[in-house]
Chains A and B, each alone.
Chain A
Amino acid sequence: MKIAIIQFGGTNCDMDVLHVLKDVVGVDAETVWYKEESLTGFDGVVVPGGFSYGDYLRAGAIAARTPIMDSVKKIAAEGKPVLGICNGFQILTEARLLEGALTTNEYPKFRCHWTNLRVETANTPFTSKFRKGEVIRMPIAHMEGKFYAEEPNLAELDENEQVVFRYVDEKGRATDKANPNGSLENIAGIVNASKNVFGLMPHPERASESILGSDDGRRVFESMADYITENF
């Protein structure tokens, strides 16, 4: 098994993801510069966080239109898992691999702090190691993280169990106060209809070792690795 970590100009969470995959989870992973056009030989993809192309036009807009994203789309079409974290989530929505858009936080400030998340479904390649309803902790670090989708798409996300994580308080309640950016319905992460493309604003790679304050995020990568082992 080998997982590709895509690097664009301005990506800055690539090495953290590489460390977690290789040293913590113990799977083979490699960074891939965006000018590479092929992802042959890879069984999964992570699009990590950062500020690709200085967030010009809109966060993720330029990266989403680079040729390597055609290869990412091909991997997704083969049913292999694709994970977008923070700027990676923005890139996947801009590439139309995921529904909706990430817009400026309701209070337009860069927010960088821990959040509580409620696991809405364990039935995805990225959350098989969680329990539905479990409250977990991961940090966020973004200014354009307000999830927005038009109706009827928003309702469909709910109906199809495509909402994966919601921002909640410590008791697991999806309150306005627990919502750090004004995301519709407190949405922190979603999957596509076939559930093999996952985007989330919180950073699982920054919460993969207990010394960092939480290792809940590690289970996202472990679930992804298990899914690849079982299916490819």
Chain B
Amino acid sequence: MQYQATVTIEQKAGMLDPEGTTAKRALGHLGYAVESVKTAKLYEIVLEAESAEVAEQKVDEMCQKLIANPIVHNYTIKLKELS
């Protein structure tokens, strides 16, 4: 089976997000009063696996080993079966 995993990497709570803060300020200049802006990184990974469980487990491993830095990041994985 082929799966597409959408991995979202976010800064952990309490970490600074200067890009988000700057975007919030710029939105203010444009007249939008927003509560907060948070930026994140998104990876789309397409892989072959026997099942959704195996695919998710593999992608989780990839996040732990490379895609995220567990000291400063949280991540979420959304899996979709490709036809």
Docked CA distance A107–B66 (Å): 26
| Contact among A65, A103, A146, A148 for B66, CB-based, below 8 A | A65
Within 8 A of B (CB), among A26-65: 57-58, 61, 65
Docked CA distance A131–B15 (Å): 34
Chain A contact surface mostly: loop
Q: Is the CB of A58 within 8 A of B69?
A: yes
Given contacts A58-B69, A101-B69, A101-B71, contact A148 B15 (CB under 8 A): yes
Q: Is A199 an interface residue (CB 8 A)?
A: no
Docked CA distance A65–B67 (Å): 11
Q: Is the CB of B16 within 8 A of A57?
A: no
Within 8 A of A (CB), among B24-77: 65-67, 69, 71-72
Given contacts A57-B66, A65-B66, contact A148 B71 (CB under 8 A): yes
What residues of A have a CB within 8 angstroms of the CB of B81 in the complex? none
Interface residues, chain A, CB within 8 Å of chain B? 57-58, 61, 65, 94, 100-101, 103-108, 146, 148-150, 182
What residues of B have a CB within 8 angstroms of the CB of A149 in the complex? 71
Given contacts A104-B18, A107-B18, contact A61 B66 (CB under 8 A): yes
- Pair count A-B, CB < 8 A: 31
The 3 closest A-B pairs by CB, nearest first: A108-B18, A101-B71, A101-B72
Q: Is the CB of B19 within 8 A of A108?
A: yes
Q: Is the CB of B69 within 8 A of A106?
A: no
Docked CA distance A100–B69 (Å): 10
Docked CA distance A107–B22 (Å): 10
Nearest CB on B from A190, distance (A):
14
Q: Is the CB of B19 within 8 A of A103?
A: no
